A and B are shown apart, each in its own frame.
Chain A
Amino acid sequence: MKKPLTTETQRHRGYLYLVFLCVLCVSVVKPVFAREAAPLAQDDAVEKRMVAISEELRCLVCQNESLSGSQADLAKDLRREIREQIARGRSDQEILDFMVGRYGDFVRYRPPLKGTTFLLWFGPFVLLVAGVIALVVILRRRGRRVTAAAALSAEEQNKAEALLKLGAEDGGK
């Protein structure tokens, strides 16, 4: 036997229809509001070069993101700047110099090799070499101490040999 619908379940069902209707409305209306993604650039080659350059550069607003991946306003402006400079026929190196001239070496993910960046480039190797040298020195010193401790006097040597001989005779039986 079917249970008669109470007013409460009817109301629930009403809500459900309402929600369904809303979802339907939104899904129908949404494409109208959504804007087409703006075309990145007319020229594919320019865009490729722009991405290649901006991947070498740090976004200063969000420091662990590259300029090419960042959505910060400044990053967008700088990408525009790079595009315009490419269009003006500037070389990649000139564009990198333009950025470094304004924001310093820090904008480059691969900072140039010079006095102030020497430690940055070679510091890890210096530490590695120092570590290896320390290791060798310690191992040698310990090796010497072990041999010194293991050295036997002449008397001890004789005794040990006698014991070994005895052991060999016993084993031979």
Chain B
Amino acid sequence: MNRFLLPLGIFIVLVGFLAIGLNLNPREVPSPLINKPAPAFELPQLHKPEATFSPKDMQGKVWLLNVWASWCVSCRQEHPLLVELAKSGLVPIYGLNYKDPRDDAMRWLKQFGDPYVLSIVDAEGRIGIDYGVYGVPETYVIDKAGVIRLKQIGPVTQDALEKTILPLVAELSK
């Protein structure tokens, strides 16, 4: 009996490790920016290039920073959700238009709807680097003190919205 117990134990542990490993998403690299202040920037707005926007303007508010681009295919997937979220008025969404020609970006918003309070233009992707963006779309939840509390890598899904993002926003807004 004892002879089989040990190999069985090892086998179960191995299966456990493999099950965890197979269910992890290797594309999701944990961001070191979680619980750190959102990197500062001052960028021109998409619709009003003469005006700028900075995360400092959002002190005291909980908000979402959504990195998007007209060339990004998965952005189309999450877009209807963002439009719906914007309509609900639960949390303001600001767009970071990442490495995108202005005309393309404007046309895209006209075509699919504009959920953003405003979008800012990161034409060369420098602010993207500061935020550790590596796969558009990405969404950051930033709290009242300007600290990044969550990073959603890849498109926002209904599931992520209901189970993670909105509960966090509600808690941070208290």
Contacts and interface: CB of A to CB of B under 8 A. Distances in A.
B29 A106 contact: yes
Chain A, interface residues (CB within 8 Å), range: 10 to 19
B67 to A, nearest CB: 12
Interface residues of B, number: 19
A81 interface: yes
B21 interface: no
Contact of B33 (A63, A81, A102, A106): A102
A60 B29 CA distance: 8
Given A60-B135, A77-B124, A77-B125, A102 B29 contact: no
Interface string B111-143: 000000000000011101111111100000000
A121 interface: no
Nearest to A74: B134
Contacts, number: 41
A61 B31 CA distance: 14
B89 interface: no
Contacts of B125: 73-74, 77
B32 A101 contact: yes
A73 B135 CA distance: 11
For the residues of A in contact with B, the DSSP-based class is helix
Contacts of B132: 102-104
A52 B13 CA distance: 40
Interface of B: 26-27, 29-33, 99, 124-126, 128-135
22 contacts: A60-B29, A60-B135, A63-B27, A73-B99, A73-B125, A74-B133, A77-B125, A77-B126, A77-B129, A81-B129, A100-B32, A101-B32, A102-B32, A102-B33, A102-B129, A102-B130, A102-B131, A103-B32, A103-B132, A103-B134, A104-B31, A106-B29
